[in-house]
Amino acid sequence: MTFYEKFKEYDWERIKSDIYSKTARDVEHALSKDKRDLEDFKALVSPAAMPYLEQMAQLSHRLTQKRFGKTIQMYVPMYLSNECQNICTYCGFSLDNKIPRITLRPEQIEREMKVIKKMGYEHLLLVTGEANQTVGVPYFEKVLDQVREEFSHISMEVQPMDQTDYEKLIDKGLNTVLVYQETYHQEDYKKHHPKGKKSNFQYRIDTPDRLGKAGIHKIGLGVLIGLEDWRTDCFHVAAHLDYLEKTYWKTKYSISFPRLRPFSGGMEPKVVMDDRELVQLICAYRIFNEEVEISLSTRERETFRDNVIKLGVTSLSAGSKTNPGGYSEEKDSLEQFEISDERSAQDIASMIQRQGYEPVWKDWDMALS
């Protein structure tokens, strides 16, 4: 049994219609309960919840402080490679996008690490495109050997792999894997991923199951906002989270909801989520699940990021470069997407402190892996 079995029981159109037909009464019911189920989540992300946004924000604020205190975790991505065998309609690394391709060599990784360490980071996120020939398991094993001495917590956002591959990488010090489904709309998923291994919807949706079986410490879930109706897509993330928490109960979970950003050769989003709706979504996830980590990348604008700290977000990246070698040498090479908040890590840390929160640079240790 994997999540795909459960997923097959969901009917996209029915779930969408459930969400859009929720009423104020359903929202009030969800807000007044002590624990919420997936039906309540539908109400919380529904248009009917919009007039309750301030109430949702207050509740989300209290629940987040209860579980996480006044802290914000700091992480930073290191892009190792922009090589990619997939065509994804929304991504700058897409195979059909004619850009110079780079995969970092050990000495380049060393230079990147030095810059990132100086910024104060202990939580590193390794990112690549999906190119198994160049950036496959042997490459990752070498990279993990190189970086694990320097960083306390290592995450990866790379191509989905088999369980045995994950087991090898976990042995090498990998703590977290982020794998976003992009969209749970199975037919449109195929349209957005016409070529490459990524076009296999089922293999991707079952990746968290393989990670859970491999015994990973933390799994990150999410969709790319802009591809499909975000409310219905985000319901599926909540359902996936619910299933995983019950099945792989020793694993921690985080969620993220990147909004589609401009990139070289870009596609216009099919749906646009405004700031008010993103606040609704953050609060809905928090009210639905008090324990899940919620992270927000530098895709979002400064003012927005400053204000959502109190709303439910628990981790932030800052000072990010989304091109391989971007920290130390490749200042002008092509980015995966344009970042929106260009402030330095220290600026972000000061902003967090001004709000009465503590930026947490280290919250894990290799000894625990």
Among 19, 43, 57, 348, binds other proteins (CB under 8 A): 57
Query: Residue 130 CB, nearest distance to other proteins (Å)?
Result: 32
Q: What would the DSSP string read from start to end of 187-218?
A: HHHHHH--BSGGG-HHHHHTHHHHHHHHT-SE
Residue in the structure block whose two tokens are 């895709």: 299
User: Are the CB atoms for 53 and 276 separated by under 8 Å?
Assistant: yes
Give the nearest distance from C-beta 310 to other proteins in angstroms: 6
Site string for other proteins, 191-230 (x = CB under 8 A): ----------------------------------------
Q: Distance between CA atoms of 96 and 226, rounded to whole angstroms?
A: 21
How far is residue 43's CA from residue 259's CA, in Å, rounded to a whole number?
22
| 171 is a site residue for other proteins (CB under 8 A) | no
Q: Given candidates 35, 66, 98, 354, which one binds other proteins under the rule CB under 8 A?
A: 35
Which residues 290-349 are close enough to bind other proteins by CB under 8 A?
301, 303-304, 307, 310-311
Kindly state the number of chain residues that form the binding site for other proteins, as judged by CB under 8 A: 27
Give the one residue of 2, 58, 103, 200 binding other proteins; rule: CB under 8 A. 58
Which stretch, 31-39, 175-183, 193-201, 323-331, contacts other proteins (CB under 8 A)? 31-39
User: How far is residue 46's CA from residue 120's CA, in Å, rounded to a whole number?
Assistant: 40
Categorise residue 244: left if φ over 0, alpha if ψ from -120 to 50, beta otherwise: alpha
User: Kind and range of the H or E element at 176?
Assistant: strand 176-178
**Stretch binding other proteins (CB under 8 A), from 88-96, 119-127, 241-249, 326-334:** 241-249
Task: Tell me the torsion sign for CA atoms 198, 203, 205, 206.
Answer: negative
Binding site for other proteins (CB under 8 A): 29, 31-35, 53-55, 57-59, 61-62, 245-247, 249, 275-276, 279, 301, 303-304, 307, 310-311
